[in-house]
Structure 1
């Protein structure tokens, strides 16, 4: 728009001229490209919507860790139980190398309840079964330093005792090792035995094992297999004879037998 001037050089405000309109005048928006989609951004399409960023919620790790720990503990308990069962399983008689099984070879020998007075002759030395005195040798972990009566200790075997015997000249450290396996254990007896044909001999009712050393692993196998389990009478081993000596001590006449 322009304003014309009057003769005196002043502009006449009443006269208005049009012309020289700017490009785009009269179009909606007043700017180039106005009216196009996209809000006037030449050559560009509409803005793509911005996808919202999904923020995952934090996991509650406390219960997960707890359940995992419980699961591991349970698996450990089961595993240890299986290991302990295998470890503590008593070996079978057939698994002990060198074992003499008189229950199989001499079944009449292991018949129980045959009580006699006085000395008894045994064919198997040390004896493992057969007739015996009515009184048993105390066998709740006794460690005797002198020989004991065959007649009394065979009765102890009938009650499920394991009797470990050794030559009197066995080295002291080996005797101590044997004593450690016997002392304070129910159904266990240790005593020296003169003229033994092996350094160490173990007896249970109907079973015998002879070894050369107290460190022989079969000793533990024998104890595990036959202590208590070889019993043919379910009678305790306490309140028996506690003295040493090879001559049996008979019960007074009329006294009840064990």
Structure 2
């Protein structure tokens, strides 16, 4: 009589922890994304300031387009400018104080242009702009060396931002491009980097003040 073979136990595989695997996959993807963005952000931070300005949508680069306009002679009295507000050119011997100074009235272009030469960023806004908008602009400037701000009577947009050779026009103080512009251009755009912003003219009014620093 043949002996019966003992039944072999069925092999039952352990269930795969799909939920855990999926969780790890999500975490891995998220972590890789953070690392990737960090590398990208780092590469942006390392870019030259001129590249950062060039990447701003709507910016006008007069350094590239009209370099002949960006003369640097000291001349007295009222002077003509190719761009309103000015982005460079001959100017008075006295600069406009630009140690984070917020002016509540228009200032002389001839002094402000000298400030741009020193590396200042000049924020201008249309008179009558909503007070909340003006406050947001002032918060970017007040107490921040190599910046100044004033209303300007001849703007075609609500806000413009100027550095030596560069200009950006926007409709709102909430526009993030303003911050990008200031961060990239402040100090660095001026052909006389390191020249002071303190000790300049503090008077308002569009008529240039005679005398002052050279």
Normalised TM-score (structure 2)? 0.76
**What corresponds to 1:11 in structure 2?**
none
**What corresponds to 1:93 in structure 2?**
53
- How far the C-alpha of 1:120 sits from its partner, in A, is 0.7
- How far the C-alpha of 1:86 sits from its partner, in A, is 5.0
**What corresponds to 2:75 in structure 1?**
116
Does residue 170 (structure 1) correspond to residue 113 (structure 2)? The answer is no
Number of residue equivalences: 176
Residue pairs, 1:178-197, within 5 angstroms:
178-197=137-156
Q: Residue 211 of structure 2 is aligned with which of 247, 251, 254?
A: 251
SS at match of 1:209: strand
Give the structure with the higher percent helix. 2
Normalised TM-score (structure 1)? 0.64
What's the Cα RMSD here? 2.1
Deviations 1:29-62 (A, max 9, x none): xxxxxxxxxxxxxxxxxxxxxxxxxxxxxxxxxx
Runs of 4+ in structure 1 over 2 Å off: 81-91
Residue pairs, 1:215-226, within 5 angstroms:
215-226=174-185
> Which one has the largest radius of gyration?
1
Residue pairs, 1:29-108, within 5 angstroms:
85=42, 88=45, 92-108=52-68
Structure 1, unmatched stretches of 5+, are 1-77
**What corresponds to 1:43 in structure 2?**
none
d(CA) in 1 for partners of 2:54, 2:143:
28
